[in-house]
Amino acid sequence: MRIFCFTLLIFSISFSQNEVKHSDIIGEWEINVKVKQLLKKETKKLDMLEKLAAELAIGLAEDIIDSADMYIQFKKDNIAILTLDFLDYQEEEQIKWMLINDEILIDDSLNKKINIGSENNTWVLENDLIYLKDKNDELNRGVFLKKIS
């Protein structure tokens, strides 16, 4: 019986989610958008010509996203700096963030130029990446943040 209880304890500890701390988030994170992955579901129902047009648009969007450098620097005082650097254009905006129940809420409502999470601004730290959480509570693996410092 003791072996069973010990095994159950070890098993539950190994699969329990670690609590996310502010120190896990603080630092500079690169914003990554996988355009093709995001639009894959949307193009399944299109006919041949529509798919061709969509593929061309996806290629153009990928080129634009890939040539833009986008970062968020999370700071200790629940302030973050969002940086967009694209060709000769650079924009820096201050946004707020907070940690609520192991989820990161990025509040960009004060700045109408930025809408980083569309209507949903909840993000989740998993395996050293921060993923956008969709309205249906699933992680959107096409939009994520990767820590660089």
All structural domains of the chain, each given as residue ranges with its CATH number in brackets, are 27-33+70-147 (2.40.128)
Summarize pLDDT for 7-45 with one digit per residue, the tens. 444 444 444 456 888 889 999 999 988 877 777 767 777
Summarize pLDDT for 42-79 with one digit per residue, the tens. 777 778 788 778 777 777 777 777 778 889 999 999 99
Q: Return the closest-CA partner of residue 141 out of 52, 37, 43.
A: 37
Neighbours of 82 (CB within 10 A): 20
The span from the CA of 71 to the CA of 149, in Å, is 11
Q: What is the pTM of this model?
A: 0.72
Cα-Cα-Cα-Cα dihedral of 93, 97, 103, 109, to 10°?
-70
Q: Which residues contact 92 (CB under 8 A, 6 or more apart)?
A: 81, 82, 83, 84
Burial of 131 (0-12, 13-18, 19+ CB in 10 A): buried
